[in-house]
Structure 1
Amino acid sequence: MIIDLSGKTAIVTGSTGGIGLAIASGLANAGAEVIITGRDQARVDAALAQIRETVIQGEVRGVVCDAGTAEGCAALIAAQPQADILINNLGIYGAREFFDIEDALWEEFFQVNIMSGVRLARHYAKGMRERGWGRIQFISSESALNIPAEMVHYGVSKTALQGLSRGLAKVLAGTGVTVNTILPGPTRTEGAIGMMADLAAERGVSVSEMEALFLKENRPSTLLQRFASPEEVANLCVYAASPQASATTGAALRVEGGIVESIA
């Protein structure tokens, strides 16, 4: 299968590292013009340089903004008013005892993990609908289906994305615009590596040993039995953004290594 996104413009939020950066690279290599976003100019510049080292055909440029805020979304929209592909990848996570999650942290997760996607989809979906083609993705998590006890606030925010995505797919039914969620499992991003390193130091084991322990203790149902790479997640995202995925909409697409105990 050859995926050709030439002539398409894609926006990937939270794309200076990790899964977002891998998605941006994959879309650019498929020929799309890709806009990456980040809050820090230096990180945006570094990500652009990294993508340009490997991109074969697509163009890539950056917008510095905090898409986790209304003001940041407005700045992104002003800089790039139209898009054919919107990947709402921006998100935050972190372990916290449920009884220590204060209202302010709940609100922060709501704004960053949910409202960033709401605001951007609300704008860009209109143009996609008018043109009769578009792809919108919300990067969710297996934690949306298996709410982790150590990150209830995170899991709840990702579950909300499932409802948002399905509802928007219904709003855009029959328009040529597809809307899907992507559900990664544990993925070897910079943030995950850092978290594993901290846990490894606490327990006196290596990072690789800590990854295995984390899966055994926290995700014992994994069939993959390892952390995925950002590129493995990005491959599914690129396919879902392609013309070939035209019949896939309103779906929760899992790339979580079989953690979810369901055949549906």
Structure 2
Amino acid sequence: MKIDLSGKTAVISASSAGIGLAIATGLAAAGAEVVINGRKQDAVDRAIERIRQDVSGARVRGVARDLGGREGCDAFVEAIPAADILVNNLGFFGPGDILGTDDDEWQRYFEVNVMSGVRLTRAYLQGMIERKWGRVIFISSESGLSIPGDMLAYGFSKTSQLSIARGVAKFAAGTGVTVNSVLPGPTLSDGIREMLNERAQATGKPVEQILDEFVLETRGSSIIRRSTSTEEVANMVVYASSMQASATTGAALRVDGGIVDSIS
């Protein structure tokens, strides 16, 4: 299968590092013009340079805006008024149970993880419908299905993305626009690496080993028995963005290594 996205413009939120950068690199390799986003210009510039090094002839540009609020989203859309592919990747995670998460933190999860995708989808969807082609993808998580009691607000935000994606897919029925969610499991992203670095230094173990051990300890249903790479997540997103995925919409596409113990 050859995926060719030449002539398509792809916007990937929070794509200066981690899963977002891997997705942007994969889409650029498939021929799309990619728009990198991050909060800081220097991080965006580094990501652009890295993609150009990894993908010969890559068409890539960047817009530094904080998409965790309405003002940043509006400014981003003003700079990039149209897109054929939208990957709602922005999100953050952290510990917090029902007793340890205050109102402000709940609101922050909602604004950043949920409303950023709502706002960008609302901005770009009409143009996709008018052009009779488009792809909208929400990067959710296996935690949106297997809600962690110690990361409750995060799990809530990821479940919300699943609901929104399914509803938008129904809204866009018959238009040539598909809307899907992608659900990674524990993934060795830059954020995870930074979070585990202190433990790696204390134990003398590689970060990769620590994350794999975490998967085995806390996600015993994992079938691959290891963490996921950012490239593995990106591969699913590139496929869902392709012409070949035209009959895949309203779906929750799992890249969780089999953690969610369900056949549906």
TM range (shorter): over 0.9
Alignment pair present for 1:148 and 2:142: no
Deviation, 1:44, is: 0.4
Counterpart residue number, 2:81: 81
1:225-264 → structure 2 map (5 Å cutoff):
225-264=225-264
Residue identity matched to 2:18:
G
Task: Give me the whole-angstrom Cα distance separating, in 2, the residues matched to 1:54 and 1:7.
Answer: 20
Task: Give me the whole-angstrom Cα distance separating, in 1, the residues matched to 2:167 and 2:104.
Answer: 27
TM-score (norm 2): 0.97
CA deviation profile, 1:166-185 (whole Å, cap 9, x unmatched): 00000000000000000000
Task: Give me the whole-angstrom Cα distance separating, in 1, the residues matched to 2:201 and 2:62.
Answer: 36
Residue identity matched to 2:126:
K
Counterpart residue number, 2:94: 94
Residue identity matched to 2:129:
R
Deviation, 1:196, is: 2.3
Deviation, 1:197, is: 2.5
Counterpart residue number, 2:55: 55
Q: 1:25 to 1:220 in 2, by over 3 A?
A: same
Counterpart residue number, 1:223: 223
Contact 1:6 1:58 in 2 (8 A): no
Task: Give me the whole-angstrom Cα distance separating, in 1, the residues matched to 2:112 and 2:209.
Answer: 32
Deviation, 1:106, is: 0.4
Residue identity matched to 2:39:
R
SS at 1:110 equivalent? helix
Counterpart residue number, 1:103: 103
Residue identity matched to 1:232:
E
CA deviation profile, 1:84-106 (whole Å, cap 9, x unmatched): 00000000101124311000000
SS at 2:178 equivalent? strand
In structure 1, runs of 5+ residues without a counterpart are: none
Counterpart residue number, 1:23: 23
Task: Give me the whole-angstrom Cα distance separating, in 1, the residues matched to 2:155 and 2:201.
Answer: 26
Residue identity matched to 1:43:
A
Counterpart residue number, 1:120: 120
Identity, % of aligned positions:
55
Q: How many residue pairs are counted as aligned between the two chains?
A: 263
Residue identity matched to 1:44:
V
SS at 2:151 equivalent? helix
Task: Give me the whole-angstrom Cα distance separating, in 2, the residues matched to 1:189 and 1:209.
Answer: 14
SS at 1:96 equivalent? coil
Counterpart residue number, 1:131: 131
Counterpart residue number, 1:193: 193
Task: Give me the whole-angstrom Cα distance separating, in 2, the residues matched to 1:51 and 1:178.
Answer: 26
Residue identity matched to 1:155:
G
Task: Give me the whole-angstrom Cα distance separating, in 2, the residues matched to 1:135 and 1:163.
Answer: 17
Counterpart residue number, 1:46: 46
Task: Give me the whole-angstrom Cα distance separating, in 2, the residues matched to 1:150 and 1:52.
Answer: 40
1:161-172 → structure 2 map (5 Å cutoff):
161-172=161-172
Contact 2:188 2:211 in 1 (8 A): no
CA deviation profile, 1:135-161 (whole Å, cap 9, x unmatched): 000000000000112211100100000
Counterpart residue number, 1:70: 70
Task: Give me the whole-angstrom Cα distance separating, in 2, the residues matched to 1:30 and 1:58.
Answer: 9
TM-score (norm 1): 0.97
In structure 2, runs of 5+ residues without a counterpart are: none
